[in-house]
């Protein structure tokens, strides 16, 4: 801890063709995968998430509107009630 109540500087962020990011979507059981190409997609299954990330470029699009995941079962069930 630094003296005087100073907040330490954030560490540098990695980037490059071999950097993948996985974020937990707060309040859900979903994980958001972010590929080095900028494509993002949400998953419930971590195995499917890694297959998608490591399968680059299959299914990857830089435009997030093109890479939207299919609606999950809960959304379809709610739409029909």
Provide the β-strand partners of residue 24.
31
Q: Give the end-to-end CA distance of the chain in Å, rounded to a whole number.
A: 53
Residue 42 is predicted with a pLDDT of 95
Q: How far is CA 79 from the centre of its chain?
A: 25
Burial of 67 (0-12, 13-18, 19+ CB in 10 A): middle
Burial of 52 (0-12, 13-18, 19+ CB in 10 A): buried
Residue ranges covered by each domain of the chain: 17-79
5-38 pLDDT per residue, tens: 788 887 777 777 778 899 999 999 999 999 888 8
């Amino acid at each position: 801890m630094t003296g005087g109540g100073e907040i330490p500087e954030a560490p540098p962020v990695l980037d490059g063709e071999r950097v993948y990011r996985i974020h937990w979507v707060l309040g859900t059981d979903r994980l958001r995968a972010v590929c080095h190409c900028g494509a993002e997609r949400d998953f419930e299954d971590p195995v499917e998430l890694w297959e998608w990330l490591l399968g680059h470029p299959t299914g990857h699009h830089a435009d997030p509107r093109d890479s939207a995941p299919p609606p999950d079962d809960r959304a379809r069930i709610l739409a029909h009630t």
